Amino acid sequence: MSTKLKEDYCGACGSSPPSPSKRLKIKCAYCKQDYHIQCVNIKIETYKDLSRVARTSWKCSTTRNCINVTTRRKGDDTNTPVSARRPTTLDDSTMSIDKMTHVDTSSSGSRIQEPVTITGNLTVNNKAELLDSKLKSFRETFFSDMKSFIRSEINAAIEKTKQEFTETTDFLQDIKASLSVVETHISELEKENCNYLKNITSLQNRLESMEKVSRSRNVEIQAVPEKRNENVLAIIENLYKTVSLQINDDEISACRRVAKLPSTSASRPRNILVRLPTIRHSDNLISAVKRFNKANPKDRISSVHLGVARERSLIYVTEHLSPECKKLHSATRITLRDQYKYIWVKYGNVYIRKDDRLYM
């Protein structure tokens, strides 16, 4: 048999249909014979509506080992019965389906379920059951694919998060190491700062001591009214005369008015600074002024005694104190004035005394 005849061979009629458009065939799943769809009474519309599973599972007959198929009457291809040799069981409204297989994806892996067998006429209910089976298989496949996709996406996200977390951890470790270095450096700087503070404190104490020594020979006269073209040396000589203290002009190294502190009132005159040869000379002058004031409580040393003003204003003779000592003396007087009777300065130190009693 030639190849062309073999291709056109029909198990029912044994030859080709008269029209090329009617050469559609269907193969029996059991005897493997090809049949023209017209020879087994299947319309073209019905054939086209059949699924791939239905076509591959079709059988020509359920008895007698696929025989009893009749040959069509020539010239009539609309409703020609098949030959008695091979009767068919598939027409416009009925067909035989032996096996249908679908995939179960409900478990972790895909497996093939037991074949669903529908034997007999394919009615509306059979079609509904077949559609439900197909939909169920589609749903299971869809959900399985979605689960796999979601699982893969979640795993990818987890891996990415792990990688980012690892990078973050490494970065934090680097920062921690850097912070450790910085902390060590800060500790060293703090130690150096403490040493510097100690040195500064020591230098301040030394400077204060030097200031006390340098100022110990000086006497400061406060609240002396200030005039233009005044003779400061004459004011000092009048002070010495008032307290009955003798001194030569050459013993006064310097006498001048000094600038006021920023906290001093603007109306207060500048102080007069007198530099004497020794500490003994300055102590003698201060002691003489205190004796005079004590002996004359109602006529204490004032501007009238120094001949600088007609109106009487008290004059104060004290040690030449440093700005820090002056602030301490002022703060002590403001704070303890009501609690202590005597508050004075001696040799650059502030002293307080509650009353006239002696305390051991």
**φ/ψ (deg, to 5) at 162:** -60, -45
CB 116 within 8 A of CB 133: yes
**Distances, alpha carbon 133 to alpha carbons 19, 44, 94, 109, 302, in Å:** 38, 25, 19, 19, 126
Q: Identify the CA nearest to 85 among candidates 111, 105, 67.
A: 67
Q: Residue 53: what pLDDT? A: 72
**Distances, alpha carbon 16 to alpha carbons 20, 32, 34, 70, 289, in Å:** 9, 18, 11, 15, 156
CB 288 within 8 A of CB 243: yes
Would the CA dihedral through 92, 94, 99, 105 be positive or negative?
positive
CB 36 within 8 A of CB 23: yes
Q: Residue 199: what pLDDT? A: 94
Q: Identify the CA nearest to 233 among candidates 272, 289, 279, 281.
A: 272
Does residue 200 surpass a pLDDT of 70?
yes
The side-by-side arrangement of strands in the sheet containing 218-222 is 254-257, 272-275, 218-222, 316-319
* pLDDT tens string 17-30: 555 555 688 888 87
Q: Residue 349: what pLDDT? A: 81
Q: Residue 160: what pLDDT? A: 92
**Would you state the CATH architecture of domain 216-320?**
2-Layer Sandwich (3.30)
DSSP code for 30: T
Q: Identify the CA nearest to 85 among candidates 14, 188, 151, 145.
A: 14
Does residue 116 surpass a pLDDT of 70?
no
Spell out where the chain has E strands. 25-27, 34-36, 97-100, 103-104, 111-112, 116-118, 218-222, 254-257, 272-275, 316-319, 342-346, 349-353
The whole-angstrom separation of Cα 190 and Cα 291 is: 54
Count the neighbouring beta carbons within 10 Å of the beta carbon of residue 279: 13
Does residue 55 surpass a pLDDT of 70?
yes
Q: Is 64 left (phi over 0), alpha (psi -120 to 50) or beta?
A: left
pLDDT bucket at 156, cuts 50 / 70 / 90: very high
* pLDDT tens string 279-325: 888 899 999 999 999 999 998 999 888 888 778 889 999 888 888 88
Q: Mean pLDDT score of the chain, rounded to an integer? A: 77
Does residue 189 surpass a pLDDT of 90?
yes
Q: Residue 48: what pLDDT? A: 78
* pLDDT tens string 69-90: 443 333 444 333 444 334 344 4
Q: Residue 99: what pLDDT? A: 37
CB 316 within 8 A of CB 330: no
Q: Residue 350: what pLDDT? A: 84
- Mean pLDDT of the region 203-212: 85
